[in-house]
Amino acid sequence: MGLYIQFQRRAIESLRLEAEAVVPPPIGNDTLLADDSGNQLYVAGVSEGIGTCSDVLGMDVLVLSELPTGIPCDLGRHACAYTVLVRRLTAEEASADSLARQDIARKCIELLWPQPDKVDGAISFGRTGKKTNYTAVV
């Protein structure tokens, strides 16, 4: 389990210096989340900047998913520095990824930026195109 968290955290931290990295708005259990295309997003958790898995101590990152997670949203004690989306690689991304072409399980971490206005009552996150892949060790 420790290796999985470390690989994912390293991928998350690799996006920290991007100009689009901004603090997400407050999110509660009833908050609707969507990407800029209107697709619903779900809270997958918070990647905490603690321990040996983090090069940047104290920097929490909100992690969203395209798939329902069933994880209750309790972000009250976290001050997230930015938001990322963890997702499967697209067919194009998989064909360009040498490890994915070898049938090694890979995931993508994509940097998101919160849009200033709610869209249809949902907090909307724009896709920045800034992303990195990591090996999904289970």
Query: What are the φ and ψ backbone dihedral angles of 53, each rounded to 5 degrees?
Result: -80, -5
Per the structure, the count of domains in the chain is 1
Q: Is 17 helix (H, G, I), strand (E, B) or coil?
A: coil
* Across 60-70, average pLDDT: 88
Split at pLDDT 50, 70, 90, the class of 13 is confident
Which residue has tokens 């990824």?
A: 97
pLDDT over threshold 80, residue 46: yes
What pTM was computed for the model?
A: 0.84
Domain carrying residue 126: 2-135
d(CA 44, CA 63): 5
